[in-house]
């Protein structure tokens, strides 16, 4: 590997971080994030953001300079690059860079090293109590309401929003009085276009799905690389959360209304961005 590529991908930084971990010279926050590891991975993240996916971010001014906010985004692409790209957009483009905490569903219980890495990079298991604690402490918190249904959908259903569960993210926003910022992502659905899910193989390997794509497994290890699609990420205007002074019997109606509002906004924005994107890859 030549020196310029090593520098672009932060290979030396990763090696130094690994050495410190072996020596016990590191610190993690209460959520398990290791700032040293996160900084070491930043060159790789930045490479994918700026050069590989060539992300165009808009609406970054809707991210508050400080204080809590719940970012709700669409999900797709089989592998969650979307969360990493949203984080990179805020860190790169915002005048006051902030690191959002990403809520993730534990779908890799048989692959503990993967969960370990996700937590070290700033991921937090998607549980209501975790979301509440993050927001109450003033964190930007990123959630994907579609969950695994969005991430693992076939290519034939690309950019078709899946069900937003039972509106759990809205309940958390109401309880913590946190504004909801809809985040619309275009580009993730093409990086691993899933043609077929080999469910028996997924079960055997302890994976949520085992995708067959245009390149995997036909190209061997090269087929594991994400395709270089052109990405757009739009941060919508915050949806204000009404005061909690309403009767408990009215809560389901309010939750359903706000959930539908967020979902509809994201779907319409995704549709607009798809029209705006002239070419998928180049």
Torsional class of 177: left (φ above 0), alpha (ψ -120 to 50), beta (otherwise): left
Chain segment 64-122, per-residue pLDDT in tens: 999 999 999 999 888 889 999 999 999 999 999 998 999 987 665 556 677 778 888 88
Q: Are strands 69-73 and 180-186 parallel, antiparallel or unpaired?
A: parallel
Q: Cα(149)–Cα(235) distance, rounded to whole angstroms?
A: 22
Q: What is the predicted pLDDT for the residue at 215?
A: 87
Q: What is the predicted pLDDT for the residue at 6?
A: 46
Q: What is the predicted pLDDT for the residue at 38?
A: 81
Chain segment 192-212, per-residue pLDDT in tens: 999 988 888 888 877 778 888
Q: Give the Å distances, CA to CA, from 182 to 29, 84, 165, 194, 229.
A: 27, 16, 16, 25, 22
Q: What is the predicted pLDDT for the residue at 21?
A: 54
CB count in 10 Å sphere of residue 21:
14
In the chain the domains, ranked by start, together with CATH numbers, are: 3-191+226-276 (3.40.1130)
CB count in 10 Å sphere of residue 34:
22
Q: Are 100 and 141 in contact (CB under 8 A)?
A: yes
CB count in 10 Å sphere of residue 112:
9
Q: Are 71 and 77 in contact (CB under 8 A)?
A: no
Q: What is the predicted pLDDT for the residue at 249?
A: 52
User: Reduced to 3 states, what is the DSSP secondary structure of residue 218?
Assistant: coil
Q: What is the predicted pLDDT for the residue at 269?
A: 97
pLDDT tens, position by position, for the chain (282 residues)?
A: 555 544 444 455 555 655 555 545 556 777 767 887 888 888 999 999 999 999 999 999 999 999 999 999 999 888 889 999 999 999 999 999 998 999 987 665 556 677 778 888 888 888 899 999 999 999 999 999 998 888 888 899 999 989 888 888 999 999 899 999 999 999 999 999 999 888 888 888 777 788 888 888 888 889 889 999 999 999 999 998 876 554 555 578 888 999 999 999 999 999 999 999 988 887
């Amino acid at each position: 590997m030549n020196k310029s590529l090593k520098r672009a991908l932060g290979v030396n930084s990763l090696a130094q971080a690994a050495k410190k971990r072996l020596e016990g010279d590191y610190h993690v926050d209460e959520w398990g994030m290791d700032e040293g590891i996160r900084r070491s991975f930043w060159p790789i993240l930045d490479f994918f953001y700026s050069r590989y996916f060539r992300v165009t971010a808009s609406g970054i001014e809707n991210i508050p300079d400080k204080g809590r906010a719940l970012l709700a985004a669409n999900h797709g692409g089989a592998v969650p690059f979307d969360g990493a790209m949203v984080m990179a957009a805020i860190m790169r483009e915002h005048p006051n860079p902030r690191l959002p905490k990403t809520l993730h569903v534990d779908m890799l219980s048989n692959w503990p090293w993967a969960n370990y890495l996700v937590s070290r990079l700033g991921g937090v298991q998607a549980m209501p109590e975790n979301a509440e604690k993050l927001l109450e402490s003033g964190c930007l918190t990123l959630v994907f309401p579609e969950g695994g249904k969005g991430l693992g959908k076939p290519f034939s259903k690309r950019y078709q929003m899946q069900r937003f569960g039972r509106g759990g993210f809205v309940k958390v926003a109401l309880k913590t009085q946190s504004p909801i910022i809809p985040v619309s992502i275009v580009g993730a659905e093409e990086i691993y276009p899933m043609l077929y899910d080999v469910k028996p193989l997924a079960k055997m390997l302890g994976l949520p799905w085992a995708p067959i794509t245009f390149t995997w497994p036909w190209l061997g290890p090269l087929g594991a690389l994400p395709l270089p699609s052109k990405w757009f990420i739009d941060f919508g205007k915050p949806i204000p959360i009404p005061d909690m002074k309403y009767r408990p019997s009215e809560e389901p109606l309010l939750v359903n209304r706000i959930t539908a509002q967020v979902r509809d906004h994201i779907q319409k924005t995704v549709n607009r961005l798809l029209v705006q994107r002239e070419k998928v890859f180049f």
